[in-house]
Amino acid sequence: MSRKSLAPGFHPVRRDRLLQEEAPDAYKLRSKLAEPSVCPQCGAVFRAGRWLWDDIPKEAHHDTCPACHRVNDNYPAGYVNLGGAFFASHRDEIKNLVRHEEQRERSTHPLKRIMAFEEQSDALLVTTTDVHLARGIGDAVHQAYQGELEFHLKPDENLLRVTWAR
Domain ranges of the chain: 37-64, 71-165
pLDDT-derived band at 68 (thresholds 50, 70, 90) equals: very high
Tell me the C-alpha distance between 47 and 37, whole Å: 7
- pLDDT number for residue 149: 95
Q: How many CA atoms lie within 13 A of 12 on its CB side?
A: 10
User: What is 71-165's CATH number, 2.60.40, 3.90.1530, 3.30.70, 1.10.3470?
Assistant: 3.30.70
Q: How many CB atoms lie within 10 A of CB 44?
A: 24
CA atoms within 13 A on the CB side of 134: 30
Instruction: Report the C-alpha gap between 56 and 77 in whole angstroms.
Output: 27
**Percent over 70 (pLDDT), the chain:** 81
- Cα separation, 138 vs 128, in Å, equals 12
pLDDT tens digits for range 97-144:
999 999 999 999 999 999 999 998 889 999 999 999 999 999 999 999
Backbone angles phi, psi at 124, to 5 degrees: -135, 130
Higher-pLDDT residue of 24 and 63 is: 63
